[in-house]
Amino acid sequence: LSPKITDKDRQPRLAWPLVLAVFVPFIGFYDGAFGPGTGSFFMAGFVGLAGLSVVKAIARTKLANFASNIASLAIFLAGGHVVWVLGLVMGAGQFIGAWAGAHMALGSGARLFKPLIIVMSLAMALRLSLSTGGGLHFLLGR
C-alpha cells in the first residue's frame, strides 16, 4: 500500500554498492534456505532501499533471481543432486514467466504491479500460514 512503489526513481536509502554487498547476499541466503517470496523480497528491497522505479526494480529482480538460481544449480551439480527433467521444466517456466512479466512491466509499470505484489504477498503469507499450521493455530488460539 506504500506510495513509494511508483514508475519513478527516488532517493535511495542505501547506496547501490551497499545494496549489492549486504542486501542481495542476505536474500540469496534466504532463497537457498527457504525460497518462497524471494522475488518479492528483491523487489521490495530494490524499491525501498535502492529507490528504484518499479520497472528498474523488476529488471534487477529478474537478474538477481537468475543469479541465485545459477548459484543453487552449481551447488547441486557439485553434490550430484540434480533432477534434470524437473529442473529444465521449471527453468522453462521461469523463463516464460520472466519474459511475460518484463513485457507487462514495460507496458503497465506500477499501475499493474503494485496491486499484484500486494495480492501475491497476502496469498503467499496465507499459504505458508496454512501449510505450517503455526499462523492458523495462533489465530484460533490453539
93-125: per-residue pLDDT in tens?
Answer: 988 988 887 787 777 766 777 777 778 778 877
So what's the pLDDT on residue 73? 85
pLDDT in tens, 121-134: 788 778 777 776 65
So what's the pLDDT on residue 135? 52
So what's the pLDDT on residue 134? 55
The dihedral of CA 82, 85, 86, 89: what is its sign?
Answer: positive
**Total-model pTM:** 0.67
Residues 43, 61 contacting (CB under 8 angstroms): yes
Distance CA 61, CA 38 (A): 9
Residue 55 φ then ψ, to 5°: -65, -45
Q: Cell match 484460533: residue?
A: 140
The Cα diameter of the chain in Å comes to: 47
Q: How far, in Å, are 44, 68, 81, 102, 105 from residue 35 at the CA level?
A: 16, 10, 18, 21, 23
Stronger pLDDT, 116 or 15, i.e. the higher one: 15
Average pLDDT, the chain: 80
C-alpha cell at 91: 527453468
